[in-house]
Amino acid sequence: MARIYQTNKKTGITYAYSNEAYWDKEKQQSRAKRKLIGKVDPVTGGIIPTREHNKSKASIQTGAIKPGPVAMMKTQRSFFGASYLLDAIGKETGVEADLKACFPDRYKKILSIAYYLILEENNSLSRFSHWQKLHIHPYGDDIASQRSSELFQSIDEKARMSFFEKQGKRRIEKEYWAFDITTISSYSEVLKQVKNGKNKENDRLPQLNLALLFGEESGLPLYYRKLPGNINDVKTIKQLMHEFDVMGYKKVNVILDRGFYSKKNIDELYKNHQKFVIGVRLGLKYVKEIMEGERENLKLLGKPTDAI
């Protein structure tokens, strides 16, 4: 862009113009766009801008002109599919809402760790820092291994039972609840609940028992309890009935395997007006009598198994 000067013969004032050449396609000739910048100071030779030019210059200096596009400073690729599915499951089952009600300041951390343990079941929590960089999750930030340990320690019995109570009341009339106990073998010599007992893994190690109550259809846990390894299945029903009373479960349909069968347990279930289905051994006298009377109706073929 060139600058040209032109003097007014009548006033003697010299004006400065910006001159921009361009090609006129219609007239097929070179033309110019001329714009007044200001007048030339006869003493200093400097240009005194016109008001319009001053205004435009001031706008540039104050940044009033609309800024251009901002350059992208960071790029990231994150996996979201599995998290999206777990988000939907959490909302549909009420797990997210119940966690938020019981752990308002920690529920997002709990959900994120749960997502990690589901999706990376063979990895330890020390790998969470790496995993969270690549996956979208509720908490949205790193949870160091030490912080996760502190989080687990902060979940007390009252809050845990409150969560199970809320979950149970969502499903209490929708499905049967299955109750069972499994054994966890251990080499520990310091854990008080690790005892010698009937090991379901068929090894000779002492064990810790874990009692679990879960929905038959949803597969979701509704209660769990750590038990000493020397406590057998038969002795746990009274404790379970007590927990039902504490959590306010009144119309639960419980399914139990034959390991829980005993006269004392049956009496305890009836005493609590508990609806239940329990497995029994066919070797029991009264069971044999009933089965014999119903043999034709049941149309049993071949030798019956030793349990039902």
3-state helix, strand, coil in the chain (%, to 5): 40, 25, 40
Answer with the residue of higher pLDDT: 63 or 244: 244
Q: Residues 6 or more apart from 233 whose CB is under 8 A from it?
A: 181, 257, 259, 260
- Torsion over CA of 121, 123, 129 and 133, rounded to 10 degrees? -60
Nearest to 247 by CA among 178, 157, 174: 157
Q: Are strands 177-185 and 47-49 parallel, antiparallel or unpaired?
A: unpaired
pLDDT band at 60 (very low <50, low <70, confident <90, very high): very low
Region at 9 (left for phi over 0; alpha for psi -120 to 50; beta for the rest)? alpha
Question: How many residues in total does the chain contain?
Answer: 308
Per-residue pLDDT for 44 more than 60? yes
The C-alpha atoms of residue 283 and residue 272 are separated, in whole angstroms, by: 27
CATH for 158-298?
3.90.350.10
Q: Which run of H or of E encompasses 233?
A: none
pLDDT at 59 over 50: no
Mean pLDDT of 145-167: 91
For the question of whether the overall pTM of this predicted structure is more than 0.75, the answer is no
DSSP assigned state of 303: S
Provide the pLDDT confidence category of residue 6 given band limits of 50, 70 and 90: confident
* 176, two tokens: 């049967």
User: 246 or 299: whose pLDDT is higher?
Assistant: 246
> 204 near 149, Cβ under 8 Å?
no
CA angle (33, 38, 41) in 5-degree steps: 140
Tell me the pLDDT tens digit for each residue of 93-152. 999 999 999 999 999 999 999 999 999 988 999 999 999 999 999 999 999 988 999 999
Q: Please give the single-letter amino acid code of residue 234.
A: V
Domain boundaries, the chain: 2-62, 81-155, 158-298
The tokens describing 79, both together, are: 């996996």
Confidence check: pLDDT of 39 > 60:
yes
Q: 199 versus 177: which is more confidently predicted?
A: 177
Q: Is the pLDDT of residue 58 over 60?
A: no
Residue 85 has pLDDT above 60, yes or no: yes
